[in-house]
Structure 1
Amino acid sequence: MLTRSAAHYGDRTALVDGDVELSYAELNARANALARGLLERGYVRGDAVAMQLQNSWQFVATFFAFAKIGVVAMPLNLLLSPSDIAYQLADSGVRGVITEDVFLGVMGPALAEAEGGMVTEVIVTGQAPTDVAGIPAVSYDAVFSADRSSVEVIVEDRDILHCLYTSGTTSRPKGVVTSHVAVQIALLGSALGLGLKPDVKASVMPIALPLFHVTALDALLLPSLAVGTTVVLLRGFDPAAVARTFSTHTVTHLTMLPMMWAALLAQPELADGDTDSLITGLYAMAPMPAELLARVRAQFPNAAIILGSGQTETTPASELQWEGHQGVKDDSWGPATVSTDVAIMGSDGSLLPAGEEGEIVYRTPQLMEGYWNNKDANTEAFANGWFHGGDIGYLDEDAVVWFTDRAKDIIKSGGENVSSVEVERVLLGHPAVAEVAVVGTRDDHWGEAVTAYVVLSAEVEGEEIQAWSRERLAGFKAPKSVVVIESLPKTATGKVQKNLMRK
Structure 2
Amino acid sequence: MKPDLSLVDPLEHNLATRNNAGDVIVRSAALFPDRVAVVDGDREVTYRELAETVDRLGHALLGLGLPAGSPVAVTMMNSWRLLATYYACARAGLVCMPLNFLLAGEDQAWILHDSQPPVVVTDSAFRPLHEQVLPKVPVVQDVIVTDEENPQPVAGLATHGWQGLVDGAPSTPLEVIVDDRDVVQCLYTSGTTSRPKGVLVSHTSLVTSLLSNALVTRQSWGRNSPVMLVVLPMFHVTALNTVTMPVLMMGGTAVLGPMAFDPVASLDLIEHHRVTHLMMLPMMHRACVGVQEQQPRDLTSVTTAIYAMAPMPSDLLDAVEGIYPNADVILGSGQTEVVPTTVMQWPEHRHSAPDSWGPQSVSVLARTMGPMGEVQGPGETGEIVYRSPNVCSGYWNNPEANQAAFAHGWFHSSDVGHLDDDGVVWFTDRLKDIIKSGGENVSSVAVEAVLLGAPGVAECSVIGVPDERWGEAVCAVVVPDGTVPTAEIEAGVIAHAKASLAGFQVPKQVRVIEELPKTATGKIQKHQVRDAVR
Distance 1:9 1:126 in 2: 28
Distance 2:246 2:30 in 1: 16
Match of 2:41 in 1: 18
C-alpha deviation, 1:413, in angstroms: 1.0
Match of 1:351 in 2: 375
Match of 1:372 in 2: 396
Q: Is the 8 A contact 1:3 1:28 kept in 2?
A: yes
Aligned counterpart in structure 1 of residue 204 of structure 2, from 168, 181, 202? 181
Match of 1:280 in 2: 304
- Given the alignment of the two structures, is residue 59 of structure 1 paired with residue 82 of structure 2, yes or no? yes
Q: Structure 1's 313 and 430: CA in aligned 2 closer, same or farther, altered over 3 A?
A: same
Deviates more, 1:123-132 or 1:78-87: 123-132
| One-letter identity of the residue aligned with 1:277 | S
Q: Is the 8 A contact 2:229 2:270 kept in 1?
A: no
Superposition pairs of residues 164-243 of structure 1, within 5 angstroms: 164-236=187-259, 237-243=261-267
| One-letter identity of the residue aligned with 1:159 | D
- Given the alignment of the two structures, is residue 464 of structure 1 paired with residue 487 of structure 2, yes or no? no
Deviates more, 1:118-127 or 1:17-26: 118-127
- Given the alignment of the two structures, is residue 245 of structure 1 paired with residue 269 of structure 2, yes or no? yes
Deviates more, 1:127-136 or 1:333-342: 127-136
- Given the alignment of the two structures, is residue 499 of structure 1 paired with residue 527 of structure 2, yes or no? yes
Deviates more, 1:43-52 or 1:91-100: 43-52
Match of 1:148 in 2: 171
Match of 1:479 in 2: 507
Match of 2:313 in 1: 289
- Given the alignment of the two structures, is residue 338 of structure 1 paired with residue 359 of structure 2, yes or no? no
Aligned counterpart in structure 1 of residue 122 of structure 2, from 99, 106, 113? 99
C-alpha deviation, 1:319, in angstroms: 0.1
Q: Tell me, what secondary structure is at the counterpart of 1:219? A: helix
Aligned counterpart in structure 2 of residue 455 of structure 1, from 475, 479, 490? 479
**TM-score, normalized by length of structure 2?**
0.92
C-alpha deviation, 1:283, in angstroms: 0.7
| One-letter identity of the residue aligned with 2:30 | A
Is there any run of 5+ residues in structure 1 with no aligned partner, and where? Answer: none
Match of 1:423 in 2: 447
Q: Is the 8 A contact 2:455 2:493 kept in 1?
A: no
Q: Tell me, what secondary structure is at the counterpart of 2:504? A: coil
| One-letter identity of the residue aligned with 1:240 | V
Distance 1:431 1:265 in 2: 21
Match of 2:387 in 1: 363
Distance 2:40 2:55 in 1: 19
Distance 1:451 1:219 in 2: 34
Q: Tell me, what secondary structure is at the counterpart of 2:126? A: helix
C-alpha deviation, 1:132, in angstroms: 2.0
C-alpha deviation, 1:330, in angstroms: 0.6
Q: Structure 1's 23 and 384: CA in aligned 2 closer, same or farther, altered over 3 A?
A: same
Distance 1:452 1:258 in 2: 20
Deviates more, 1:398-407 or 1:197-206: 197-206
Aligned counterpart in structure 1 of residue 159 of structure 2, from 137, 143, 147? 137
Distance 1:65 1:245 in 2: 28
Query: 1:348-377 CA distances to partner (integer Å, 9 max, x unpaired)?
Result: 110111101000001001111000011111
Q: Is the 8 A contact 1:198 1:227 kept in 2?
A: yes
Distance 2:294 2:117 in 1: 43
| One-letter identity of the residue aligned with 1:496 | I
Return structure 1 stretches of 4+ with deviation > 6 angstroms: none
Match of 2:69 in 1: 46
Distance 1:140 1:20 in 2: 17
Distance 1:196 1:431 in 2: 40
Q: Is the 8 A contact 1:344 1:357 kept in 2?
A: yes
Q: Is the 8 A contact 1:243 1:269 kept in 2?
A: no
C-alpha deviation, 1:235, in angstroms: 3.4
Q: Structure 1's 347 and 320: CA in aligned 2 closer, same or farther, altered over 3 A?
A: same
Query: 1:89-147 CA distances to partner (integer Å, 9 max, x unpaired)?
Result: 11111110001111011112111223x2x211111122354422222211112211353
Distance 2:419 2:341 in 1: 17
- Given the alignment of the two structures, is residue 436 of structure 1 paired with residue 457 of structure 2, yes or no? no
Distance 1:250 1:201 in 2: 12
Distance 1:434 1:241 in 2: 24
C-alpha deviation, 1:458, in angstroms: 3.3
Distance 1:196 1:29 in 2: 25
Distance 2:423 2:335 in 1: 19
Q: What RMSD in Å do the two structures reach over aligned CA positions?
A: 1.4
Distance 1:195 1:149 in 2: 35
Match of 2:147 in 1: 126
Aligned counterpart in structure 2 of residue 302 of structure 1, from 326, 330, 343? 326
Distance 1:265 1:150 in 2: 46
Q: Tell me, what secondary structure is at the counterpart of 1:254? A: strand
Match of 1:488 in 2: 516
Instruction: Give the share of equivalent positions with the same residue, in percent.
Output: 49
Kindly tell me the number of residue pairs found equivalent between the two proteins: 501
Q: Is the 8 A contact 2:384 2:418 kept in 1?
A: yes
C-alpha deviation, 1:52, in angstroms: 0.3
C-alpha deviation, 1:222, in angstroms: 0.9
Q: Is the 8 A contact 2:292 2:323 kept in 1?
A: no
C-alpha deviation, 1:271, in angstroms: 3.8
C-alpha deviation, 1:268, in angstroms: 4.6
Is there any run of 5+ residues in structure 2 with no aligned partner, and where? Answer: 1-23
Aligned counterpart in structure 2 of residue 313 of structure 1, from 309, 318, 337? 337
